[in-house]
Structure 1
Amino acid sequence: MPPTRSLLLSALVLAVAAPTLLAAPPARAQNFFERLFGIKPERPPVPPRGLPEAPAVPPPGAPGEPGQPSVPEAPRPAPVPARPVVLKAPSEESVVGQDLQLNGMSGSLKLERSGNGATARITLPGTKISQPTESCTVPLGGGNPITLSSEGKPEGVPRYEAAGAECPLRLDVTEGGVLVSTLGSGPVCTFSAADCTTTPTGLWGPAPATLVPRAGEFDTARGVADKAVRDNYKLMTQRARREDVRPIVTEQAAFSSDREQFCRGYAREGTHGFCHLRFSENRALALATRLGANTAVPTAAVTQRRSRPKPAVEGLNPDAAGGGDAIPE
């Protein structure tokens, strides 16, 4: 058949079948054109065998019904303590007669009893004004005992002041040490006649050699002290008026950085943690005092770790009588 005649015949067929194709479903119309023009239809894709079918998703139901996942609850805020947490207040006897050093390595401070009062022998460490690279020392009062005035316990711990000294100082007792700050306009005391400038602010305590063996004890006690600080701040925030909440929150946020700044100079502090512990304990007691608690009656105590028994050797129990150290109760 000539090509021209074939094309005319196809056009005639299309014209006749057009109304029917327009009304037919799309799939039927597609099959007609494929047969008309000799186009082979593509085979539908065969899904691969052996693949597991996706599990049917159950319709959503009310939470708590069988087969339905429970809705996770939002985390509840930590409960606010009902009363202030009071730690055991430090004893003055733990520092009286002890040779203490600034940051455990320089100068000297020794508290002594004098009748009903107290005195202190203090030698301040510093650097020379003319040669800042060289060290110097200044004994307050010419090396004689300085009379201290007792200021009671305004922040839960014994406080003494040496207001009449060449470098006026405030001494807050902590367990085994003294937290010292200046009463003047700044932390530095300058002694021009002695060519010496000093910064006595910090913790005056024992040398690190006596503290390192107690690092485990200090770490346990610090956990209790840090929790007491958090709980007391939380209670203060709850009791405060709305306009007084922000200063309390700001003070709490600065607590860790203040402690780090105060203790970073103590010798081997990262090994034993003595300064961090005493700073936290005194802050917890100060907060309890501000909350109106009686700091003479502690409400929190540190649980001492129980030592583990030694293993038996050759059938003998070394922890038995005469065989070794007994377990402390």
Structure 2
Amino acid sequence: PAPPAPPKPVVLKTPNDDAVLGQDLQQNGNAGSLRLDRAGGGYTARVTVAGTKVSQPTESCKVALGDGQPLTLADQGKPNGVTQLASAGPACPLRFEILEGSVMVTPLAEAESCVFTASDCATTPKGLWGPGAAALLPRAQEFDSARGVADKAVRENYKVMTQRARREDVRPIVTEQAAFSADREQMCRAYVREGAHGFCHLRFSEARALSLATRLGLSGAAPTASAAPRPAARKRPAPAVEGMNPGFEAGAQDQ
């Protein structure tokens, strides 16, 4: 028998940046607000972060970054395969990665939390900002199918990474892959009704697959055929019982 073909990198479709523009997104689908817009040749963001009061941790609070004015964002290109933007203000600088229908937000400061002393408010804006559960639940089956494609792309690209790496570089790649799975679980468990629709897991996996493809030198490549969702399998009819089905012999010949 011929040896199995070596794994090939899988490229997923790049997210449509325009799809999130003008949309009101929320952290984990239920907190704060984020709205991206174009301004001239760049992007702006209106961000309100939710948190808890420093003096009374049992009470909630909100802070509008930039006093509610649009924040000018620096376009950092696509180092991980998706558009990456950054706010440059001294108060809670953030990185925004545009995914499909959502935005991954990461604080740029060493601490993941942002404390606003004047507002007596501590916030942790890190996470996936996207639609609420009401908009996601009807698409649960679609997300489940797409996640299978994304997870396969992650596995294939990970295999290619390890095969191409030098022996001393394999262990860090394995450690990174293990951290990806743990980080995805930790981040997505906070998304509202995640267990019912799987939206966060899907977007997190897609981002990982695109990042690996970019590191493999496939940035901007056309989506590969293996990344296309598989059509639903057709159910085969139950086999006929000989002697009871007049068309048995003809059906057997067709098979």
User: How far apart, in 2, do the equivalents of 1:274 and 1:140 lie?
Assistant: 27
Q: 1:245 aligns with which of 150, 170, 186?
A: 170
Q: 2:128 aligns with which of 203, 208, 233?
A: 203
Given that 1:203 and 1:275 are in contact with CA atoms closer than 8 Å, whether structure 2 keeps it comes out as yes
User: How far apart, in 2, do the equivalents of 1:97 and 1:307 lie?
Assistant: 40
Using a 3 Å threshold, how does the CA distance of structure 1 residues 301 and 196 change in structure 2: closer, same or farther? same
Partner deviation per Cα, 1:228-271 (whole Å, 9 max, x = no partner):
00100100000000100111111112221110011110000000
Instruction: Count residues in correspondence.
Output: 232
SS at match of 2:106: strand
Partner deviation per Cα, 1:113-165 (whole Å, 9 max, x = no partner):
10110100000000000110000000000000000010010000001000225
In the alignment, structure 1 residue 193 sits paired with structure 2 residue 118: yes
In the alignment, structure 1 residue 81 sits paired with structure 2 residue 7: yes
SS at match of 2:192: coil
In the alignment, structure 1 residue 113 sits paired with structure 2 residue 35: no
Q: Which amino acid aligns with 1:301?
A: A
Q: Which amino acid aligns with 2:65?
A: L
Q: 1:227 aligns with which of 149, 152, 164?
A: 152
Residue matched to 1:302: 229
User: How far apart, in 1, do the equivalents of 2:13 and 2:75 lie?
Assistant: 20
Specify which structure has the bigger relative contact order, considering alpha-carbon pairs within 8 angstroms and separated by 6 or more residues: 2
Alignment of 1:1-329 (within 5 A): 79-82=5-8, 84-299=9-224, 300-303=227-230, 305=232
User: How far apart, in 2, do the equivalents of 1:195 and 1:124 lie?
Assistant: 13
Larger-gyration structure (1/2):
1
SS at match of 1:211: helix
Q: Which amino acid aligns with 1:302?
A: P
User: How far apart, in 2, do the equivalents of 1:297 and 1:234 lie?
Assistant: 20
Using a 3 Å threshold, how does the CA distance of structure 1 residues 77 and 189 change in structure 2: closer, same or farther? farther
Using a 3 Å threshold, how does the CA distance of structure 1 residues 296 and 158 change in structure 2: closer, same or farther? farther
User: How far apart, in 1, do the equivalents of 2:167 and 2:141 lie?
Assistant: 41
User: How far apart, in 2, do the equivalents of 1:304 and 1:107 lie?
Assistant: 38
Q: Which amino acid aligns with 2:213?
A: A
What stretches of structure 2 of length at least 5 have no aligned partner? 236-255
TM-score where L is the length of structure 1: 0.68
TM-score where L is the length of structure 2: 0.87
Residue matched to 1:50: none
Given that 1:80 and 1:234 are in contact with CA atoms closer than 8 Å, whether structure 2 keeps it comes out as no
SS at match of 1:292: coil
Partner deviation per Cα, 1:10-43 (whole Å, 9 max, x = no partner):
xxxxxxxxxxxxxxxxxxxxxxxxxxxxxxxxxx
User: How far apart, in 2, do the equivalents of 1:230 and 1:188 lie?
Assistant: 32
SS at match of 2:129: strand
| Structure whose residues are more often strand by fraction | 2
Structural RMSD (CA): 1.9
Given that 1:87 and 1:295 are in contact with CA atoms closer than 8 Å, whether structure 2 keeps it comes out as no
Given that 1:140 and 1:165 are in contact with CA atoms closer than 8 Å, whether structure 2 keeps it comes out as no
